[in-house]
Amino acid sequence: MDKLQIKELLNGQKFRLTSERESLLDVFASSSSMLTPSQLYELADKHDINIGLTTVYRLLEVLTKVGVATPFLVDGTIFYAYCGCEHHHHFVCLSCHRVMDIQGSCPSFDVPDNFRVSSHRSDLYGTCSDCQTANDAGCTH
């Protein structure tokens, strides 16, 4: 999904993408790891983006609502990953917090006859190969 499409989705939510919010979106979109709002705020500060923590929360909230951000609950903490494309599943590394898209078919489930599925989410949690190698060598992140 390109930035113009995201702007249109945000406009549909009556959310104006100011230059600061757009810069924050760029930083978020370029991250390969899931981030907490505080971590995204710190990244924004490192990139000299002058915003408040409330702005980070508002942007993540509206991006989640329009399907551009995906929240993950890990050990009681909510992280967000940028997901600006079609429906897919994720592999989440519990060590380095990298999120990788998984393409392919959805696992099949036996759904009760009287139940209509309108959406689903299937994510896999574990340890990526880089972290496995680091752990085998005695390193920790």
Q: Residue 79: how many CA atoms within 13 Å on its side-chain side?
A: 20
Q: Which pLDDT tens digit goes with each residue over 38-72?
A: 999 999 999 999 999 999 999 999 999 998 999 99
Q: Domain check: are 50 and 97 in the same one?
A: no
Q: What is the pLDDT of residue 141?
A: 52
Query: Would strands 89-93 and 99-102 be described as parallel, antiparallel, or unpaired?
Result: antiparallel
Q: Domain check: are 21 and 59 in the same one?
A: yes
What one-letter code names the amino acid at 9?
L
Q: Which two three-digit tokens encode residue 4? A: 């113009």
CATH at 10: 1.10.10.10
Please state whether the predicted TM-score (pTM) of the whole model is above 0.85.
no
Q: Domain check: are 103 and 69 in the same one?
A: no
Kindly state the helix (H) or strand (E) to which residue 72 belongs, with its residue range: strand 69-74
Q: What is the pLDDT of residue 4?
A: 87
Instruction: Say how many C-beta atoms besides its own lie within 10 A of residue 38's C-beta.
Output: 12
Q: Which two three-digit tokens encode residue 28? A: 């978020």
Q: Domain check: are 68 and 16 in the same one?
A: yes
Task: Print the domain residue range for 11.
Answer: 3-82
Per the structure, the count of domains in the chain is 2
Residue 28 has pLDDT above 70, yes or no: yes
CATH at 122: 3.30.1490.190
| Non-local CB neighbours of 89 within 8 Å, separated by 6+ positions | 101, 102, 104, 106, 121, 122, 123, 124
Q: Domain check: are 77 and 96 in the same one?
A: no
Q: Domain check: are 61 and 106 in the same one?
A: no
Q: Domain check: are 78 and 96 in the same one?
A: no
Q: Domain check: are 109 and 69 in the same one?
A: no
